Amino acid sequence: MKITPKILLASILAGALLTACGNTDTEPKKEDNKAEDKADVVTTASIVNEADALVNGLSENGTWIVATLQDLTVDSDIVVAGEFHDKGDAANPLYRKLGLYTQDEDHNIIDSFTLTAPKMTVQSENFKIQGGTFVGDVYVEANGFTVDATAKVDGNVYYKSDEFKASAVIDGEVTGEQEVQ
């Protein structure tokens, strides 16, 4: 298999994300510490290149961050659910992120990707779309929904309440309507 610069960069990004989000403890884990073992499951980024993996990563059993390595089309609705904390650490604020991009070691976006789905329902607080385009309608059922300046929603954004709309941060582009339904 020929290793192209894009594959090499994606590998470096994956390694950097896993290293940055990994466990930094130097002592071995004790066998009887099930709570720590369970917490480590959510600290790793979910780097995906298939629709099913993306849907699972954004589910309530997923991870705090899901990053794509290419354009993806999902034939079913996506539900962003569950309570997650920034970098998987319960001491950090509630936060979820969908990264539709790859980046270099200085965190500069190299490639942006498009995620297409009929509908995305956001039930996780402080969910952010960054670095690419989501094609479809977004239904917001939680506070703190964010479209980063590097992202675009090619569709409508519908908020379940005025509170959810007021707490949203739309620095990027939304091509459709933004309204409370």
Q: List the domain boundaries for the chain.
A: 5-22+32-180
Q: How far apart are CA 45 and CA 58, in angstroms?
A: 11
What is the overall mean pLDDT for the chain? 83
Residue owning tokens 């990563």 = 57
Q: What is the pTM of this model?
A: 0.77
The whole-number pLDDT of residue 45 equals 65
pLDDT of 50 > 90? The answer is yes
| More confident call, 12 vs 172 | 172
Q: From 135, 142, 120, 139, select the one nearest 173 (Cα to Cα).
A: 135
CA distances from 95 to 56, 82, 83, 88, 92 (A): 17, 10, 8, 9, 8
pLDDT of 12 > 70? The answer is no
| More confident call, 8 vs 165 | 165
Percent of the chain with pLDDT over 90: 72
pLDDT of 109 > 80? The answer is yes
The whole-number pLDDT of residue 34 equals 39
